[in-house]
Copies of this chain bind each other. A is one copy, B any other.
Amino acid sequence: MITELQAYLKDEFGIDFNDPSLLAEAFTQASYVNEHPKEHLKFYERIEFLGDAVLQLFVSEYIYRRYPELPQGRLTRLRAAMVCEDSFSKFALECHFDQYIRLGHGEELAGARKRPSLLCDIFESFIGALYLDQGRPAVEKFIQRVIFPKLDQGWFDHAVDAKTSLQEFLQRNGDVEIEYHLLHEGGSENEPVFTVSVSANGKQIGEGTGSSKKHAEMAAAQVALQALRQIKK
């Protein structure tokens, strides 16, 4: 299974491991080690400990540089949305890492191969192994392909608010004037409905409604972002 993994990583990501034993360690769960006592195998937990810290720093550094105006609190929220079980387990599935995990029979039958917590661990341990085997540039190249594009695809929009995301999206290639206009105020006194438009350099790019002006602005920004991302594709 580790030989297949090695070939797959080479084909798919251009990653050629120097020390396959690191890769084996990173993809082996304790249950497998226990079932093969004579092979003196190691399981992934120590490498995962390292990989977790590697991801924490590289993601931190990326968003620190990419969002020069974002205050610490928001950086922290964004990092928490990126560096978490939910994200990492999805990345692991997207990379087909689930197919290469070495599990004991009991864990296999219990469905561990698709368990988010295990997938997350394996993603981290893979990063740890890659870091040990090939150093920082290889990890950066890998996460630039697997993690960072998700920012543009809106995976973490809930962590950075839509207005900030829109601003960052539009202003990446120079200054753009973004304005929000209240178009309509309706509903009842208890349930008001605000309608707001957002424009970039005078051209309307989105419209949204909400129970407050702020919510309507967020909705408009979200609509604009989705439209702009569609165009970019």
Contacts and interface: CB of A to CB of B under 8 A. Distances in A.
A72 interface: yes
A49 B53 contact: no
A49 B56 CA distance: 11
Contacts of A112: none
Contact of A53 (B46, B48, B50, B60): B60
Nearest to A52: B60
A70 B50 CA distance: 13
Contact of A64 (B49, B70, B72): B49
A169 to B, nearest CB: 20
Nearest to A50: B64
The copy count of this chain in the complex is: 2
Nearest to A51: B60
B53 A61 contact: yes
Query: For the side of the interface on A, what is the size category?
Result: 10 to 19
A56 B61 CA distance: 13
A56 B49 CA distance: 11
A71 B57 contact: no
Interface in A32-72: 45-46, 48-50, 52-54, 56-57, 60-61, 64, 70-72
Contact of A75 (B49, B54, B64, B72): B49
Nearest to A47: B64
Contacts of A212: none
A46 B72 contact: yes
A76 interface: yes
A70 B49 CA distance: 11
Contacts of A70: 46
13 contacts: A45-B71, A46-B70, A46-B72, A46-B75, A49-B60, A49-B64, A50-B60, A53-B53, A53-B57, A53-B61, A54-B57, A56-B56, A57-B57
Given A49-B76, A53-B60, 10 more contacts: A45-B72, A46-B75, A48-B72, A49-B60, A50-B60, A50-B61, A50-B64, A53-B61, A56-B56, A56-B57
* Top-8 shortest CB links A-B: A45-B72, A53-B60, A53-B57, A57-B57, A49-B72, A50-B64, A53-B56, A49-B75
